[in-house]
Amino acid sequence: MKKKETEVLREKFWEKYTLDQLNSSEWEALCDGCGKCCLVKLEDEDKIFLTNIACTQIDLRNCKCQNYDKRTKLVKNCMSLTKKNLKINLKWLPYTCSYKLVSDKKSLPPWHHLITKDRDTVHQLGFSIKNNCIHETKVEEKNMRSYIIAEIGT
């Protein structure tokens, strides 16, 4: 069956086009699968803190969302990045996030699957949350502050 135009990944699209110019397949493919945007954030007055607690919906064996299509319904604060909301969400994203890098006209890192052709490289080289976080189901809400790893968004 002939592929639709929007399903084609153009060669080196992340270098040649702006985020606004990406088709839907390219937009999805840009994600490195690190899972860092799925870590729980805590707000305290005007400050926002990042924890190493991973969202209830994530599968920590592969850092993938288990309910991707329903994610925004299931998790109130799920970012669900789109071309429209990217700008307001940039401050929540890690500096390694591919959307942030391309938005800043920077290169993708050498471990990105679009470079290595292997979606496991991000995990193998330790750039994902795999083996670096705890699942939200294992943490009591009153203890979440003790999992803070950084202050962000201020």
Question: Which stretches of the chain bind ligand SF4, using CB under 6 A?
Answer: 31-38, 55, 57-58, 65, 71, 74-75, 78, 81, 93-94, 97-99
- For residue 152, the surrounding DSSP H or E stretch is strand 148-152
Give me the least distance between CB of 75 and ligand SF4, in Å please: 4
Cβ–Cβ < 8 Å for 54, 128: no
Give me the least distance between CB of 1 and ligand SF4, in Å please: 29
Tokens of 77: 């604060």
Q: Which is nearer to ligand SF4, 3 or 117 (CB)?
A: 117
Give me the least distance between CB of 79 and ligand SF4, in Å please: 7
Q: Which is nearer to ligand SF4, 5 or 120 (CB)?
A: 120
* CA atoms of 147 and 39, how far apart (whole Å): 11
Give me the least distance between CB of 147 and ligand SF4, in Å please: 16
Based on DSSP, count helices (H) and strands (E) in the chain, helices before strands.
7, 6
Please give the radius of gyration of the chain, using alpha carbons only, rounded to the nearest integer.
Answer: 16
